[in-house]
Amino acid sequence: MIDLESLPHLPGCYLFKNEDGTVLYVGKAKDLKKRVSSYFQKRDHDPKTESLVQAARNLDFIVTNTEVEAFLLENTLIKKHLPRYNIALKDSKRYACIHLTEEKFPRIRLARKKIESGNYFGPFVSAKERDYIFEVVRKTFQLRTCKQMPRRACLRYHINACSGPCIEVISMEEYGEKVKKAASVLKGNIKELIESMEKEMRDLAARQQFEQAMALRDEIAAIENLQEKQNMERQKKHNEDILNYIVREDTVYLMLFKVYKGTLEDKEDYVFAFGENFLEEFLVQYYSENDPPEELILPEPLDESLADFLSHVKGIKVKVTVPKQGDKKELLDLALKNVEIGFFGDRKKLEALQNKLSLPKLPNVIECFDISHLSGTATVGSMVQFRGGRPDKHNYRRFKIGSVEGIDDFASIAEVVRRRYSRLLEDKHDMPDLVIIDGGKGQLSSAFQELRKLKLRIPVISIAKREEEIYVPGLKSPLPIKKDEKASLFVQEIRDEAHRFAINYNRLLRQKSLIP
C-alpha cells in the first residue's frame, strides 16, 4: 500500500511499483509529498494516468539536494527500469552533451550519444542552459562547427563566429589553445582560466595591444556570465559507491548509493541487527556477490586488510575515501538524509501499529504467513519478514505443504506456523515481535493454537481481505481500525507482500509439474 504521510517535502524522484515490485513509472518532483499526493487527490486524470494510479501498489523514493539532481536521476532511472508508463515519452531521449571532437582542428557540437572519439561535457539537464553554454563557448573561442572544412571562408568567419582554420588564418597551435580554454570552461575550471586570461590581458595592454586586450576582456565577461548559468553533472571517469548508516536501538539502517561516472543512478537499503564490526561484515558479504567500484566513499576509515580484500575482488586497486568536505561529502550527507527520511518515516508506521494493537514494544520484526493453491493442488505457504518497517528478503521462507490434502487453509496455516517456530526454538533464534496471518478468525485460531502448543507468547493478528478487518485472539469482532488508517495500511502492505511471495512459489511448482 502507498503511504503518503511518510513522504517528505523535499525534491527527489518517486517510483510507482506494482504488487510484484516492477517499476511502473519514474517521476521527479520539487516537492515529493505534494507531487505524489496529487495523483490520489485529483479525480479527473487522463486515461493513462488513471491506469497508472489503479495499477500502483507500492512506492519508493530517493531524496536529492536539488530539483536539477532529480532531473538527472529521473533520466537514469528511466533508462535502467524502462517503466511501461514512461517508455512512450522518454525511451528514445537522452540529455545532450557538448562534444569537442578529436580532429586536427576540433569542432564543437551537441551530442546525445557518445559514439565518436573526443571529449564530452554534460549531460545538461536544461536545454536552455545547454544551448546558452554552447553558444557562449563557441562564440567566445571561435570554434568551428562544420562537419567538413570548406575551401573558402564561410559566413561564420565573416561575422567573427569562427577563427577560420579552413583558410589557414589561424595556426593549429593557436587553435589548439582556444580548444584547451573551451575545454577548461566546460570542465568548470573557470576561476583559474579567468585569472590566466586577466594576466594575459594586462600584458597586452602594457604592450599597447589594446584591440587584442579588449577582445580578451569581452571573453572574460562572457565566461564570468557563463559561470552563473552553468549546471552540469560531476565529471568522473570511474564508478563510486557511497555508503552511510544510522545505528538505533541495536539496529543498523544502511543506505548504499550507486554513482556511475558521476551520475547518481540508484540506491539500495538494508536493515540488520547491530553487532561489533557490522560494517566490515556487510562489506565482505555485499562485495563477495557484487562487483566493487573503483572508489568506495564511507563515513569512517576501513582496516587496510579489508581494503586489500576489495581490491583483490575487483582485480584493481579500490580507493577508500572518507571525505570531510566537497562534493563527495555532499553525497555522503545525501545518503544519510535518505536514511533518516526513508527509514524513520517507516518508524511512524511501526509506532502507529504498536498503538493500535496495544503492543508491549515496537514491532520491529514482523512475520506474515499466507497460503496459496490452485483448487487444492500445489498448496504452498509463504512467510515474509519485515524489519524496521521494510521487507527483509534474506529472511523470507517458503513451505511446501505436506500434511494436508485438498483445500484446508486452517490446517495449512497450522503446519507452516508450527514448522517455522519449532525451527526457531530448535536453533535458539529470536522470535518476531508480531505475527500476521492472512485470513479471518479461522486461520487466526489455527495459528494461535500452534503458538500455544509451542508455549510461545508472540502477539498474533489476522487480516481478512474483503473489508481489511483485523482480528485478535479472544475477540469475536474485528478491532475498530479503519482500513485507510496508517496501522491498517501497513498491515495490508505486509499481507500483500506475503500473498505475492506465495503466489510466485505456487506458480513455480505448477510449472515444474508440467515438465516431464
Q: How far apart, in whole angstroms, are the C-alpha atoms of residue 329 and residue 274?
A: 25
Smallest CA-to-CA distance from 256 within 247, 271, 243 is with 243
Q: Give the pLDDT of residue 117.
A: 87
Q: How far apart, in whole angstroms, are the C-alpha atoms of residue 279 and residue 275?
A: 9
Phi-psi bin for 292: left (phi > 0), alpha (psi -120 to 50), beta? beta
Instruction: State the SS3 of 264-279.
Output: EEEEEEEEEECCCCHH
- Are 12-90 and 358-514 in the same CATH fold? no
- Superfamily of 358-514 according to CATH: UvrC, RNAse H endonuclease domain (3.30.420.340)
Phi, psi of 414 (to 5 degrees): -60, -40
For residue 65, give Cα distances in angstroms to 12, 68, 265, 338. 8, 8, 15, 10
Class of domain 12-90: alpha beta
Planar angle of CA 333, 336, 342, nearest 5 degrees: 140
* Predicted confidence pLDDT, tens digits, the chain (516 residues): 677 877 889 999 999 998 888 899 998 888 999 999 999 887 778 888 888 988 898 888 999 888 777 877 887 788 778 888 875 444 344 567 889 999 989 999 988 777 788 888 876 655 666 776 787 788 778 898 888 887 788 888 888 788 888 888 888 998 998 898 888 878 766 776 677 778 888 988 999 888 888 877 877 776 666 554 443 344 456 788 999 999 987 788 899 998 876 667 778 888 887 877 889 889 988 898 888 999 999 999 988 888 888 998 889 999 999 999 887 888 899 899 988 888 877 788 899 999 999 999 999 999 999 998 776 567 889 999 998 888 888 899 999 887 777 778 899 999 999 999 999 999 999 999 999 999 999 999 999 999 999 999 999 999 998 789 999 999 989 999 998 888 999 999 999 999 988 888 877 776 665 555
Smallest CA-to-CA distance from 459 within 494, 479, 432 is with 432
Class of domain 240-344: alpha beta
Q: Give the pLDDT of residue 341.
A: 84
Domain boundaries along the sequence of the chain: 12-90, 97-229, 240-344, 358-514
Is there a contact between 202 and 217 (Cβ–Cβ < 8 Å)? no
Partnered with residue 515 across adjacent β-strands are none
Q: Give the pLDDT of residue 262.
A: 65
Q: Give the pLDDT of residue 124.
A: 67
